[in-house]
Amino acid sequence: MSALIATLWLINVSLDTGGQLAFKAAASDPRAGDGIARWRYMASRPWLWLGLLAYALHLLSWIAFLSLVDLSKGILLASINMVAIMIAGRLLFREKLSPLRVVGILLVSAGVAIVGASG
């Protein structure tokens, strides 16, 4: 991978993870209530908007990334996003990482490393 492609890949993972975490923070606020009131509460707080901003930027970084690598390679390299999000969920929201989840994370990471190392 060239430096530019690697940088775009890292930006892509960061924005996807950041966006998901922002949505999680928006959605899991217990003060939000229900129904329309819940959406109005979420719209009045920054998390939902930060999540949407991260997603919009993620879209651009993904298009830039895909214009430099084959789609079949890009989609495999992007599998690391689910690993990053699970680890972030573990760190920030204390989500459980069962042994099977750890095995899954290691396998997905290994697969991404195999594809990434192939140049």
Partner 1 sequence: MSAHTPTSARTWRFYLGGFALLMVFDTLVQVSFKLTGTHAFPPEASWAWVLRIVGHPWIYIALIGYIGSFFTWMSLLKYAPIGPAFAATHLDVVSVMLASAWIFHEALTPVRLLGAGVIMLGILCLALAESGAHPEHDAPTEAKGALGVMAGD
Binding site for partner 1 (CB under 8 A): 8, 20-21, 23-24, 26-27, 34-35, 38, 60, 62-68, 70-76, 79, 82, 85-86, 88-90, 93, 95-96, 98, 100-101, 103-112, 114-115, 118
Helices (H), 28-98: 35-43, 46-66, 71-77, 80-93
User: Residue 81 CB, nearest distance to partner 1 (Å)?
Assistant: 8
CB of 94 to partner 1, least distance (A): 11
Residues 6 or more apart from 74 whose CB is under 8 A from it? Answer: 65, 66
